[in-house]
Chain A
């Protein structure tokens, strides 16, 4: 029996070692770096040296991922982000200098180059987190019937989930944004949007959340998710959304 325990301890030890050596691919760092680099594209011409350096770093980082040297990759991605942010900053502060000849002419004639874009759909494997223990839980949208502010039966659980999350993270303050569809006058829809936000707020209070932690604001019909004029769009637009205040 003791031997078995020893075996287990060794196994756990080895496993932990293995993990800490290899680690996980630095997903967050990579995402940030790739995005920052893409944002820095405007500085390609005016801050060329740094741009090329950032590109080189990014390529190295990608190679390290393939070689499973995750720690090294993580450092490189961080460097890419830092460099890219500096380029973007320069680009923002010197827009004239950074404008290419083509930009100055406006969208000029076709210069014979082929512009290639990857339009593959975004990775849908990133499931929204609905775990109220997750500090970054994704907030859900609550929907309503036309000219109504009662929460739809099937959406009550979304509010309950929100209440659980707020219980778990008592330092968080949440803003509920109420919206209406395009039908009806702007002033009435502002009131309707507010009624909806207020209804959701009251449900959270009933679930034990301190009212001081819940702010509401109505946008009426001003911020539709779908600008179309049909039932499907109107349903999407009649909503209350949760936003983090802090």
Chain B
């Protein structure tokens, strides 16, 4: 009797645990993620819909889930159920058999005007959890799929993510030809804004996402320019003798922090781009550069070699004497970038193997976590507008490509590789419309 009772207790406990897991859905433990197996079924293509577009939509959903690092995307070839199976006729047993915790399936109708229906099922519970119908022009198909993916992510992880609605700018360099490029977050939709053989360096978005600042030696001096995404016009922003580099936007959408060397060596200034009023922020005989303004506009992180080698510092913009050093380890820390939630600073640092890797400082705890290791040169970290994903350049597989990583570093994928080297990426602010 007693043995029997214990057995029942154990079974109950096991079931309770399973149930708990099912409720938590995606479990994060010690920074590592308990894998949630997601099956994304190919869409059913109905009423003359474009099969290629349907494939693009399901792979867009997969890519978004994948890069968060919370999901393992199951191989479509193992699926037993046909895409055409109706939403109310899903055979959950067949999805359990392929190891799925969750299932996303959908239908696509229409060619120019589409009707996209997507549903997420909890396979263990055998239950439909979210179902949405999107009617839009075909050009908005992917965006509709992103909306759905962000809902699934919110439901399973509790996190609001909008990185999929934003863009990334970077420099593509081939030989001595430089191109200023913008793509969607996943490297798709490449658009070349400007090209020259006279360098394009350090592109950075304006606060409203309507302009991109960059430096070029076009006039044989590294001047700062802005590219207006609406009018395609290029304007000179700062052309002092010497360096005019590393723009970082204040939230007011008119002031930028930048590095100028007009007063003898690299110093950080703020520049009101409407009045051209300039204010010097650092005074130092060594290099101060690479400012990144905090999202509330009250602080700036930057690189300074005032201690003998480059380290990351943080300075209050209301009290310029309030300067603190954020990095103690290593002797070559650079490229600081504030996260849009203001809680973290990403940077690239040279490790004990003399390789450049990415790190994140949690500003509250001062804990530094490592994002990349033993995978080539990793530089120019940039946060997605939701602070969940980091974009960067890495030459781990030969030439430099655009990579994305979640903030724990557990999932890293290359999203864009062009003919040349992909350098100095910068993530746009959140989409405004």
Which of A188, A191, A222 touches B265 (beta carbons < 8 Å)?
A: A191
Closest to B286 in A: A195
Closest to B423 in A: A186
Contact B310–A194 (Cβ < 8 Å):
no
Contact A186–B202 (Cβ < 8 Å):
yes
B269-310 vs A: 1/0 string, CB under 8 Å?
A: 000000000000000000101100000000000010000011
Contact B245–A185 (Cβ < 8 Å):
no
- Interface presence of A183 (CB below 8 A): yes
Contact A190–B310 (Cβ < 8 Å):
no
A189-227 vs B: 1/0 string, CB under 8 Å?
A: 011101100100000000000000000111110100000
When distances are taken between beta carbons in the complex, the residues of chain B under 8 Å from A220 are 201
- Interface presence of B68 (CB below 8 A): no
When distances are taken between beta carbons in the complex, the residues of chain A under 8 Å from B199 are 219, 222
When distances are taken between beta carbons in the complex, the residues of chain B under 8 Å from A216 are 242
Give Cα A68 to B105, complex, Å. 89
Question: Which stretch from B58-66, B94-102, B147-155, B214-222 is at the chain A interface?
Answer: B214-222
When distances are taken between beta carbons in the complex, the residues of chain B under 8 Å from A222 are 199, 201, 217
- Interface presence of A95 (CB below 8 A): no
Contact A186–B424 (Cβ < 8 Å):
yes
A110-126 vs B: 1/0 string, CB under 8 Å?
A: 00000000000000000
- Interface presence of A69 (CB below 8 A): no
Contact B332–A184 (Cβ < 8 Å):
yes
Contact flag A217-B265 (CB < 8 Å), given A191-B243, A194-B242: no
Tell me, rounded to whole Å, the shortest Cβ–Cβ distance linking B185 to chain A: 22
Contact flag A147-B309 (CB < 8 Å), given A188-B303, A194-B243, A194-B266: yes
Contact B424–A183 (Cβ < 8 Å):
no
Contact A190–B201 (Cβ < 8 Å):
yes
Tell me, rounded to whole Å, the shortest Cβ–Cβ distance linking B266 to chain A: 4
Residues of A in contact with B, size category: 10 to 19
Contact A185–B243 (Cβ < 8 Å):
no
Which of B201, B261, B265, B310 touches A186 (beta carbons < 8 Å)?
A: B201
Contact A195–B202 (Cβ < 8 Å):
no
Contact A218–B348 (Cβ < 8 Å):
no
Contact B221–A217 (Cβ < 8 Å):
yes
- Interface presence of B334 (CB below 8 A): yes
Contact A190–B423 (Cβ < 8 Å):
no
- Interface presence of B179 (CB below 8 A): no
Tell me, rounded to whole Å, the shortest Cβ–Cβ distance linking A184 to chain B: 6
Give Cα A217 to B242, complex, Å. 6
- Interface presence of B186 (CB below 8 A): no
Closest to A188 in B: B334
- Interface presence of A187 (CB below 8 A): yes
Which residues, 191 to 216 on B, are CB-close (under 8 Å) to A?
199, 201-202
When distances are taken between beta carbons in the complex, the residues of chain B under 8 Å from A188 are 287, 289-290, 303, 310, 334
Contact B261–A187 (Cβ < 8 Å):
no
Task: Among A186, A191, A216, A222, find the residue whose CB has the most chain B CB atoms closer than 10 A.
Answer: A191
Contact B289–A187 (Cβ < 8 Å):
yes
- Interface presence of B335 (CB below 8 A): yes
Tell me, rounded to whole Å, the shortest Cβ–Cβ distance linking A218 to chain B: 6
Give Cα A195 to B243, complex, Å. 11
Task: Among B264, B334, B348, find the residue whose CB has the most chain A CB atoms closer than 10 A.
Answer: B334
Closest to B267 in A: A191
When distances are taken between beta carbons in the complex, the residues of chain B under 8 Å from A195 are 265-266, 287
Contact B332–A187 (Cβ < 8 Å):
no
Contact B221–A187 (Cβ < 8 Å):
no
Contact B287–A191 (Cβ < 8 Å):
yes
- Interface presence of B380 (CB below 8 A): yes
B255-267 vs A: 1/0 string, CB under 8 Å?
A: 0000101001110
- Interface presence of B405 (CB below 8 A): no
- Interface presence of B357 (CB below 8 A): no
Tell me, rounded to whole Å, the shortest Cβ–Cβ distance linking B347 to chain A: 9
When distances are taken between beta carbons in the complex, the residues of chain A under 8 Å from B201 are 186-187, 190, 220, 222
Contact A187–B303 (Cβ < 8 Å):
yes
Given contacts A183-B350, A191-B265, A194-B265, 18 further A-B contacts (CB under 8 A): A184-B310, A186-B423, A187-B201, A187-B246, A187-B334, A188-B290, A188-B334, A190-B245, A190-B266, A191-B259, A194-B242, A194-B261, A217-B217, A218-B222, A218-B242, A218-B243, A219-B199, A222-B201
Q: 5 tightest A-B contacts by CB?
A: A191-B266, A185-B334, A191-B287, A187-B290, A185-B335
Taking Cβ atoms with an 8 Å cutoff, the residues of A that contact B are 147, 183-188, 190-192, 194-195, 198, 216-220, 222
Q: List 16 A-B contacts (CB under 8 A).
A: A147-B332, A185-B303, A185-B334, A187-B201, A187-B246, A187-B334, A188-B334, A190-B222, A190-B289, A191-B265, A191-B266, A194-B242, A194-B261, A195-B287, A217-B217, A222-B201
